[in-house]
Each structure stands twice: as structure tokens, then as C-alpha cells.
Amino acid sequence: MTTEPLPPIEIQPRDLRPYRAGNTGIDYVHRFDSGQPGPHVLINALTHGNEFCGMVAATHLLDAGVRPRIGTLTVSFANVAAYESFDPAQPFESRQLVHNMNRIWSAAQLDGDEASPELVRARALRPVVAAADHILDIHSTSRDVSPFWVYPQFARNAAVALALGRPAVHLVMPQGMGTGTPLVQHGRHGHTDHHGVGLVVECGQHFKHGTGALAIEVTLDFLAHFGLLAPRPAHSGAQRRYELLQTWVVRTPQFRFTQPLVGFETFARGELIATDGSDEIRALCDDCTVLMPARVPIVGREGVYLTRPLP
């Protein structure tokens, strides 16, 4: 068990019951049609229950009465059941109840016989996700690291993330996550020939004020990019891109990193990063960069992502 002190909870969870009814017949889903031609953009919050920045951004849109100038805007709160289980004494435990809701968006799982709160909710949200042209799925990280984009390696995704300019760091997935199907790769969004953009934004540490503030700004940037809001100032500057090489899933209770990691540490080819029982996790290339190292390794869950810098 980790001995790390718990981080301050700067973003307090709000009561979401006033947002439950929505206007789509699906709980916690709100849709606004401008009446003008244009894309359908989905802003999705709380895929993981303790990633509060999405809640901050989604409630901001609804509380401020944001409406699209063209096209259609949908705002959804995904895993509200996990969110409602939040305990400040155990702030990392409400990420999910059973399943990682960001790995279950394959037809096999959604059409399967297995049941869990996350699968039930994903099945309810399936038409919402499928109806959207463009998706922004808002997330945060357990560690206090630089915010970054995560997206399947389609040119359409990279073009939008690069154009938006913030965050300035990108994690590109040529083969997906390797541990399941994320929401932004559901259905046609996982196909090369689809026009729609699907981006995950990791806005910073779960409970920091600045993480919620960034989530709002990136959401407004995303909507403005597709014309649903008035244009916003561009963000220029150097950008860093990484390619996902391997997602290591923890196999044993003996999983250990060789040194304390928070993310973005680099290793030389062959250097030992972690051990997992008798297995060794070694750097796959020079400048192998670690992302999302588990704060507390849990058997069956992702322990670390190994990446390489892209030119």
C-alpha cells in the first residue's frame, strides 16, 4: 500500500442531481441544437468518477447557458455512479466501480452478456457517442504532471490537437490503448475513413483548481474550433508528441518500479523500469518515456505506459 500523503482536494464534488433530467431521455445528457447546419460535438465528462475537471467544464457550459452558433452541442456526464461514491478519505477509489469505463467501448463488450454499472451506463450512452461527429472526452491524472492529449493515430485527430495548441503535449496511439477500446474509438470513430475527431484531454492532477480551469478553456477552444462558439485566441509554441509503444498491465502483487516515478521520466534502451514478479519491464528504445505510472499498482489494471518521442 502506498505511503504517499493524499493530495489536497481543491475541487469539491458538486451535487449533480439538478443535471440528471437533461432533455434527451437519457439521464445526465443535455443536447442543444442551433437550428443551423454544422457538426454535432459531444463534450463528455466523468468517464472516471474521480476526475472532477470534466464535471467542472460540463457544469460551466450548462450553468452559463452556452449554446452553439451552428450545429449541435451535447454535454454528458458519464460515470455518475462512481462519482457519487467519492470519499475524500480515499479519493482515488471512485475512479470506477467495476470496469474502467474508458476501455469497454467495443461492440463485443457492449453487446455481451457481462453486467456492471459501467457497462449498463455505456450501453445507455452508446447512441449519444455514436451520434456525435466530434468528441472531447475530459480526463485528469493521479499525478501532478503536464497536461496532455491522448488520441488514436488518425491524421484528423492530430490536426485538431496541433491546431488547438494547448495542451502542448500529445500521446499518440497507433494501435489503441492495448487494453480495451476507449470511448473516442467507439464505432466509426475507430475507423480510418471516418471524418470525426475523437480526443481525450488529460488536464492535470485530479483535484487541483488549475485542472478544472484548464478543462473549461480546452472545452471552449474545442467548440470554437468547430464553429459552435466564436473564434478564440490561438495558442502557439513548441509541442511534444509521444507514441505509445506498450501498455503494461500489472500481473502480480509484487509489481515494483525501480525508482519513484510520476510520469515523463526517460530511460535508455534496455534500462530496467519495473519488475512484476519474475517479469522485467525494460525500456524499449532510447529516450523511452514513462507516462501514467500507477500510483498504487493493482493486479489487472494498467501499471505504466511506455512511449517514445516523435520527431
Rounded Cα gap, residues 204 and 212, in angstroms: 9
Q: Do 50 and 189 reside in the same domain of the chain?
A: yes
Is residue 11 included in any domain, yes or no?
no
Residue 3: band (very low, low, confident or very high) from pLDDT cuts 50, 70, 90: low
Percentage of the chain exceeding pLDDT 70? 99
Q: Are 73 and 100 found together in one domain?
A: yes
Q: Is residue 34 part of a domain?
A: yes
Same domain, residue pair 207 and 295: no
Burial of 224 (0-12, 13-18, 19+ CB in 10 A): middle
* Res 245: pLDDT: 98
CATH of the domain at 207: 3.40.630.10
Q: Are residues 210 and 300 in the same domain?
A: no
Same domain, 114 and 31: yes
Per DSSP, which regions of the chain are E strands? 29-33, 40-45, 72-77, 134-141, 148-152, 169-173, 198-205, 240-249, 256-257, 266-267, 272-276, 279-282, 288-291, 302-310
CA atoms 73, 68, 40, 227: torsion sign: negative
Whether residue 283 lies inside any domain: the answer is: yes
Helix (H) or strand (E) holding 126: helix 117-131
Q: Do both 180 and 127 map to the same domain?
A: yes
pLDDT digits (tens, 9 = 90+) for 154-183: 999 999 999 999 999 999 999 888 899 999
Q: Between these two residues, 275 and 311, which has the higher pLDDT value?
A: 275
Is a pLDDT exceeding 90 seen at residue 49? yes
**Do residues 123 and 168 both lie within one domain?**
yes
Among 215, 114, 223, CA closest to 167: 215
Q: Which range of residues forms the domain containing residue 150? A: 17-225
Task: Give residue 1's pLDDT.
Answer: 44
The whole-chain average pLDDT of the chain stands at 97
Do 249 and 118 have their domain in common? no
Where does the pLDDT of residue 236 fall: very low under 50, low under 70, confident under 90, or very high at 90 and above?
confident
Mean pLDDT confidence for 188-193: 95
For residue range 248-269, what is the model confidence (pLDDT) as tens digits? 999 999 999 999 999 999 999 9
Distance between CA atoms of residues 181 and 75, nearest Å? 21
Query: Above 80 in pLDDT, residue 2?
Result: no
Total tally of structural domains belonging to the chain = 2
**Overall pTM surpassing 0.85 (yes/no):** yes
Domain of residue 298, CATH code: 2.40.50.630
